[in-house]
Amino acid sequence: MKQTARDGARRTTANRRPRSWKNLGWVLFFLLPSAIPLFVFTLVPMVSSLWVSLHRWNLISPMEWVGLGNYTNLLTDPMTRRVFLHTLAYVAGYLPIVYAGGLLLALALNQKLKGRAFLRATYFLPVVTSWVVVALVWKWLLNPTNGLVNQLLGAVGLPEPGWWTDPAWALPAVILSSAWKDLGFVMVILLAGLQSVPGDYYEAAKVDGANAWQRFWRITLPLLSPSTFFVVVISLINGFQVFDQVYVMTGGGPAGSSQVVVGQIYDLTFRYGRAGEASALSWLLFALILVITVVQIRGQRKWVHYA
Amino acid sequence: MRDTGSLPARLALYAAVLVGAAIMLFPFLWTVITSITPEGSLADGPTLVVDDPTLGAYRTLVDALPIWRIVLNSLGVAIVSTALQLVTGSMAAYGFARLKFPLKNVVFGFYLATLMVPLQVLVVPLFIEMKTLNLQDTYFALLAPTIASAFGVFLLRQAVTAVPLELDEAATIDGAGHLRIFTTIVLPLIRPALATVAVFAFMGSWNSFLWPLVVIRSPEFMTLPLGLSTLQGQFTTQWDVVMAGSVVSIVPIAVVYLLAQRHIIAGVAHTGIK
C-alpha cells in the first residue's frame, strides 16, 4: 500500500495532536486565500479599533491617549442611553411583529394551497430587495402629506400620523417597513422547521383526541423551537445593528428621536470627528450583542427542544 | 403538510394569504406607478391609473447620476465578491476538514473571532486603513471586507465534513493528490452548500450600504444603494425621480431572484436547519 497523507491523518487520530508540519505546504495553499484577507480586513481593524477607542481623535490631528475616558464619557452621556433605548425599542417592536407574522404565514403556506410556490416567492421578494430601496419606497408610502398610507387612513376616517416627521412616529415607521421586508425571511425559516415535523405526531395526537389548538401548542410550537431560536438569535443580532433603513428614512430624526446606536457611531465619526468615542461605542454595542447572544445560547436548554 | 378542514376555512385562508401577497407586491407596483407619473400631478394624491405616463423621471435620473455605471458597479462587485468568497471559503473548508496540522484549533478560533465581530466595530479602523493606503474610491476598497467570509467557511466546512472519507481514500489509492480530491470529488458534492453561500454573498454585497457609504465619495464608484441614497438628498421632494431610481435598482435583483428563486429560498431555509 502507498504511503499517503491519509496514513498520517489516521495516526494523528490515535494521539490527537498532530506534531508534523509535513502538510505545511498544503495548509498554506488552502488556508492563506481566506486567512490573509480575514487578518488584514478584520483582525487588524479589530485590534486597532480597540486602540482608537482609548484615544481622543478626530481622524486628522495626532491621537491623544485618554485611557478608558471615552467609555466613562459614553456611559454618563444621556445621548448614549437614548440611542440604546431607541435600538432596544426598535428590536422590541420589530421582533414580535416579524415572528407572529412569519409564523402565521408559515402555517398558512404549509397547507395544501393552490399557487403555494408563487405565494412563497411573493412573500420572499422584499427580502432580496436592498434596505435602501425598501426605506425609500416606504418613506414615500408613509409620506405624511400625500403618502398613500395616509390617504387611505384619511379616506376611512382614521387619524393620519406624521410618520417620519413626527418624533413619536419615526421609529414605528422604521419598524413597520423593516417588518415588511423581513417577514418573508422568518416565514421561510419557520416553513423549513415545520416541514421537518413528522406527520405521525399529529396523527397520534388526533387519535388521542387533541383538538387543533392543542396540537398547535403541544406539538407545532415545541417542535418549531429550534427554528424559533434561530430566528430570535439572528433577529436580535441584526436588530441591534439596525442602520440603513434609519439613515435613509429618518436620518435619526426628527430631533434625534429615531437615532440608533450604529447611526450614532457613524455620526460621531464622520460628522463630529470623534472617532475615539465612536470606536468605544461600537465596542459597547458589540459587548451587548455578545452578552445577549451568550445568554440566549445558555438559556436555550429551557425551551428549545430538538426532535 | 396537512389538509385544512371545511370549505369556508379554506376560502378564508385563501383570502388572507392573497391579501398578504397584495401587501407584499403593492409597494413594488406603486414604485413603478410613481416613477412614470408626471412630477406635477404627484401632489394631487395617489392614482392607480396614470393618464399621461412619462419617462421624464428616468431622464432626470440619467442626468443626475451615471446610473448605468452604478448598476454595473453593483453587479460587478457582487459577482466578484461572490466568486471570491466561494473560492476562499471552499479552500479553507477543505483545509479545516481534511488536513491535519498543529494549532488547527487556534487558527479556527481566529476565524470564529472574525465571525463574531460586527461590521460596525470595523468601519472606523477599516476606513482609516483604506485612507492610509490611499484606496478610497476604488473597487478594491468596496471588495476588501468581502474577499473572505468566516460564515462561508463555517457553512462549507460542515458540508465538506459530511463528504465520506472513503471517497478521498479511494481517490488517494488511484494516485490523486489534495488538489484533485478537492476539485473533482469535494467541490461537486458540496454544491448545495456552495449555492447557499453564493446566495448570501450576492445578497450581502448587492444590498451593502454602510461600507460603501463610508469608503466611496465619487459617483463613478458608487453602488446602487449608495447612489440611490444620494439621490434623495438632491431631490428631497422629487419622488418620481427617487422612485425611478428604485425601479432601476429593483429590476436586476428581481430578475436574478425570479431565475434562481427556488435555490435562493432553499438556500436561506437551509441555514436555519440545525
Domains of chain B and any CATH numbers: 60-272 (1.10.3720.10)
Assess if residue A18 is contained within a domain. no
Q: Is residue A15 part of a domain?
A: no
The H-or-E segment that residue B178 falls in is helix B178-180
pTM of the model: 0.89
C-alpha cell at A121: 416567492
Q: How many CA atoms lie within 13 A of A56 on its CB side?
A: 6
**A149 and A249, same domain (yes or no):** yes
Return the pLDDT at A3: 45
Shared domain check, A132 and A28: no
Cis before B212? omega within 30: no
- Structural domain contains residue A248: yes
CA–CA dist A87, A81 (Å, integer): 10
In a domain, A84, yes or no: yes
With a cut of 50, say whether residue A1 has pLDDT above it: no
pLDDT at A113: 85
Least confident of A144-158, A197-211, B68-82: A197-211
Element (H, E) at A55: strand A55-56
Taking residues A10-36, report their average pLDDT. 75
- Residue A28 and residue A130 in one domain: no
- DSSP designation for B138: S
When pLDDT is averaged across residues B93-119 and rounded to a whole number, the result is 89
Cell 450600504 -> residue: B209
- Is A253 found in the same domain as A183? yes
| Cβ contact A262–B14 (<8 Å) | no
Task: Provide the shortest C-alpha distance from residue A159 to chain B (in Å).
Answer: 17
Kindly state whether residues A88 and A198 are assigned to the same domain: yes
Q: How far apart are CA B181 and CA B172, in angstroms?
A: 8
In a domain, A114, yes or no: yes
Best residue in A133, A140, A277 for a mutation probing chain B (most B CBs within 10 Å): A133
Cβ atoms B85, B197 nearer than 8 A:
yes
Rounded CA separation A48/B121 (Å): 10
Query: What is the 8-class DSSP label of residue A165?
Result: G
* Whether A240 and A281 share a structural domain: yes
In B, which residues are within 8 Å of A241 by CB distance? Answer: 118-120
- Residue A231 belongs to domain with CATH number: 1.10.3720.10
* Beta carbons of A43 and B113 less than 8 Å apart: yes
Average pLDDT over residues B30-48: 80
Q: What is the pLDDT of residues B81-94, one digit of tens each?
A: 999 999 999 999 99
Q: Confirm whether A13 is domain-assigned.
A: no
Same structural domain for residues A83 and A64? no
Same domain for A111 and A61?
no
Is there a single domain that holds both residue A40 and residue A126?
Answer: no
Is A35 close to B107, i.e. CB distance below 8 A?
yes
Distance between CA atoms of B256 and A127, rounded to whole angstroms?
Answer: 13
A171: helix, coil or strand? Answer: helix
Is B45's CB within 8 Å of A141's CB? no
Residues of A in contact with B16 (CB under 8 A): 108
Q: Do A42 and A82 have their domain in common?
A: no
Is B17:A119 a contact under the CB 8 Å cutoff?
yes
Domain that holds residue A98: 77-301
Q: List the beta bridge partners of residue A65.
A: A55
Q: Are residues A60 and A81 in the same domain?
A: no
**Amino acid, res. B90:** S
Same domain, A211 and A83: yes
Instruction: For residues A222-230, give the mean pLDDT.
Output: 91
* Within a domain: A199: yes
pLDDT at A187: 95
Q: Provide the domain count of chain A.
A: 2
For residue A126, the chain B residues in CB contact (below 8 A) are 24, 27
pLDDT surpasses 60 at A18: no
**Chain A, nearest residue to B115 by Cα:** A42
Give me the percent of chain B exceeding a pLDDT of 70.
Answer: 94
Q: Tell me which chain B residue has its CA closest to the CA of residue A275.
A: B124
Provide the shortest C-alpha distance from residue B74 to chain A (in Å).
12
Backbone Cα Rg of chain B? 24
pLDDT digits (tens, 9 = 90+) for A175-224: 999 999 999 999 999 999 998 877 788 888 888 888 888 888 888 898 89
From CA B169, how far away is CA A7, in angstroms rounded?
Answer: 10
Of A27, A128, A202, the CB nearest to B264: A128
Classify residue A139: in a domain, yes or no: yes
Per-residue model confidence (pLDDT) at position A19: 59
pLDDT top residue among B226 and B10: B226
Residues A231-278 pLDDT 10s: 999 999 999 999 999 999 999 989 999 999 999 999 999 999 999 999
Q: Is B272–A193 a contact, with Cβ atoms under 8 angstroms apart?
A: yes
H helix intervals, chain A = 5-15, 24-38, 44-52, 69-76, 78-109, 116-128, 131-141, 148-155, 170-195, 199-207, 212-215, 221-223, 225-240, 244-249, 261-270, 275-303
Residue B214 CA to residue B126 CA, distance in Å, equals: 10
Helix (H) or strand (E) holding A65: strand A64-65
> How much is the pLDDT for B233?
66
Residue B17: phi and psi, rounded to 5, are: -70, -30
What distance in Å separates the CA atoms of residue A202 and residue A199, rounded to the nearest whole number? 6
The rounded distance, in Å, linking the Cα atoms of B159 and B154 is: 9
Chain B residues lying within 8 Å of A154, measured CB to CB: none
**B121 vs A49, A112, A141: nearest CB:** A49
